[in-house]
Amino acid sequence: MITDYKPAVNFNHINYSVDGIHILKNITESFPEGKITTLVGPSGAGKTTLLKLCNGLLSPDSGEIYIKGKSISSYEPVELRQLVGITLQSAPMINGSVLKNLALPLELQGRELIEKDAKNLLHDVGLEEEFLHRPIKDLSGGQRQKVSIARTLVNRPQILLLDEITSSLDRISQQEIEELIVKINQKYKTTIIWITHNLQQAMTVGNYTWVMMKGEVIETGTSDLLHSPVNEKVRHFLKGEVK
Amino acid sequence: MSYVHLSIALIFVILPIILSKTLNLGLERDTMIAVVRSIVQLLAVGYILKFVFDSENMIYILLMVTVMIAAATQNAQKKGVSIQGITWKVTVTLVVIEVLTQSILLGFKITPPTAQYIIPISGMVIGNSMVLAILFLNRFTAEVETHQDVTELILSLGGTPKQAIHTQLITAIKSSMIPTIESQKTIGLVQLPGMMSGQIIAGADPMQAVQFQLLILFLLLTTASVTSAMLGYLSYPSLFNHRMQLLRGK
Ligand SMILES: Nc1ncnc2c1ncn2[C@@H]1O[C@H](COP(=O)(O)OP(=O)(O)OP(=O)(O)O)[C@@H](O)[C@H]1O
Ligand SMILES: [Mg+2]
């Protein structure tokens, strides 16, 4: 268990199931505040489901989640979702331009995004300024992922949940995004939870890591554990991933 | 026209049955059922109408309108089973439409308060409202399903359920109203509307028939917009829970 830091998110005996299928099983762990924690594990382990619980898109069947020490149910849903930002795995987009997508979080609050801020955001995620007025449907998968990250940053969340944001990016872009996330983490002390299938990334970028399998958290600790896991199943999984 | 003439007109039923047999369409059974049902249902309605018209009692009129609303609700709610409480939502919508249109018609003395006017006009209004409800529910449930990811996105960014479903709701309201508006643009050019044809055949003055038809068309525009909008705003909240989470249709 990760105990040497103040938790930003704390799970206490969390269970979640859909149609009788047990997706998360009795999870008791925490994400340290102000750190980057990576979440690794095979497909279908329940990683995405876990992040959606933190952002309030889903609620557990039993157990309690604490965000910054307060029970998650004591937050208003809108307040919670602005505090805990999520970049969804499928990077969904609304119809229209890149600008329209970037402006969405503020538009929902009846505010406007200044063009200069929009350009800075694009710059942060490594997209040229001229993308601003392009229709979103003309963008490649990787470019959409970048817009999706930028859009999540608009609300300046204190806790940032990233669901496989670099999966369709080339190496250079991956590195740019890694640098950006580290920069955000250091500059704003943002707590970052990052689901990734890239173990190299988990080791270099993450401070901590969780290994999940079949709805359970199998092993947690500093990212070093990925070099020398204790658990037999984890060792087996990591071998398969590296290969 | 006498019953003897009507019997001879059954030729129009035999033809499609023969055609279905020779071409192996397999529609004989359904055609027969349709014919028998329409004969029984319309004759029954005819007798009931005659009875209600003769008695001139408001209670019977109310009863008939209630039956119409119940039947229309029964039909429309099937398209929205995934929406919680859809039956009463459709019922409320139909009642509002009926009360709204009749208050204007009777209030401004546009039509007299007799069964002869109230029942056929209610029938057209409620029937049309039912079709609109079906069109709306079909489209809305499909839109919600297809754009679940966008709904989730907006919620995840701190949007309210209303903001998260807005585009789908507007698309469904709009698309369900379009047929009503479009069909009115070409009315009279391609075919004479059923009610007007009926009146003219029954010997009414064509200009009188046109006036009535126009009244009905205006009514149907209100019916279309109010049905879709009202049903839409009644329906969308039940797709979410109090924690602003999207409930998944099981
Ligand atoms: N709404 C749902 N209905 C039914 N099953 C679901 C639902 N959401 C998730 N699941 C199931 O829960 C399990 C965990 O899903 P989840 O998306 O959290 O996995 P994941 O670890 O993110 O996987 P991946 O790495 O492929 O993204 C899967 O078996 C999935 O099929
Ligand atoms: Mg996932």
Q: Can you tell me the mean pLDDT for A5-26?
A: 95
Strand (E) positions, chain A? Answer: 7-18, 21-32, 36-40, 62-67, 70-71, 84-87, 159-163, 191-195, 208-213, 216-222
Beta-carbon neighbour count of residue B223 at 10 Å?
A: 26
Confidence at residue B194, expressed as pLDDT on a 0 to 100 scale:
80
Q: Can you tell me the mean pLDDT for B101-108?
A: 96
Q: Are B240 and B247 in contact (CB under 8 A)?
A: yes
Confidence at residue B238, expressed as pLDDT on a 0 to 100 scale:
93
> Of B5 and B190, which is predicted with more confidence?
B5
Q: How far apart are CA A65 and CA A62, in angstroms?
A: 10
Confidence at residue A238, expressed as pLDDT on a 0 to 100 scale:
87
CA closest to B168 among chain A residues: A94
Least confident window among A67-71, A193-197, A227-231, B188-192:
B188-192
Any ligand 1 atom below 6 A from CB of A43:
yes
pLDDT band at residue B250 under the 50/70/90 scheme:
very low
Q: What is the pLDDT of residues B116-140, one digit of tens each?
A: 899 999 999 999 999 999 999 999 9
Confidence at residue A37, expressed as pLDDT on a 0 to 100 scale:
97
Average pLDDT over chain B reads 92
Q: Which atom of ligand 1 is nearest to the CA of A41?
A: 21
Confidence at residue B249, expressed as pLDDT on a 0 to 100 scale:
53
Nearest by Cα to A191 from A31, A40, A65: A31
Instruction: Inform me whether the pLDDT recorded for B110 exceeds 80.
Output: yes
Q: Which CATH number fits domain A7-89+157-238: 3.20.20.70, 3.90.320.10, 3.40.50.300, 3.90.700.10?
A: 3.40.50.300
Provide ipTM, 2 decimals: 0.95
Which residue has its alpha carbon closest to ligand 1 atom 26? A43
Q: Can you tell me the mean pLDDT for B102-127?
A: 93
Q: How far apart are CA A44 and CA A142, in angstroms?
A: 23
Q: How far apart are CA B136 and CA B144, in angstroms?
A: 12
Q: How far apart are CA A180 and CA A127, in angstroms?
A: 13
Q: How many CA atoms lie within 13 A of B194 on its CB side?
A: 2
Contacting residues of A for B244, CB less than 8 Å apart:
56, 77-78
Instruction: Inform me whether the pLDDT recorded for B226 exceeds 70.
Output: yes
Q: Can you tell me the mean pLDDT for B146-150?
A: 96
Least confident window among A69-73, A178-182, B55-59, B238-242:
B55-59
Q: What is the pLDDT of residues B77-101, one digit of tens each?
A: 998 988 999 999 999 999 999 999 9
Q: What is the pLDDT of residues B152-163, one digit of tens each?
A: 999 999 999 999
Domain extent listing, chain A: 7-89+157-238
Instruction: Inform me whether the pLDDT recorded for A176 exceeds 60.
Output: yes
Any ligand 1 atom below 6 A from CB of A51:
no
Chain A nearest CA to B147, separation (Å): 9
Q: How far apart are CA B250 and CA B247, in angstroms?
A: 9
Nearest by Cα to A195 from A48, A31, A92: A48
A143 Cα: distance to centroid of ligand 2 (angstroms): 19
B181 Cα: distance to centroid of ligand 2 (angstroms): 45
> Amino acid identity, residue B238?
S
Q: How far is CA A76 from CA A151, B164, B220, in A?
A: 21, 17, 43
Q: Are B144 and B168 in contact (CB under 8 A)?
A: yes
Q: Can you tell me the mean pLDDT for B28-38?
A: 91
pLDDT band at residue A26 under the 50/70/90 scheme:
very high
Confidence at residue A242, expressed as pLDDT on a 0 to 100 scale:
58
Collapsing DSSP states into helix, strand and coil, what is residue A211? strand
Contacting residues of A for B152, CB less than 8 Å apart:
57, 88, 92
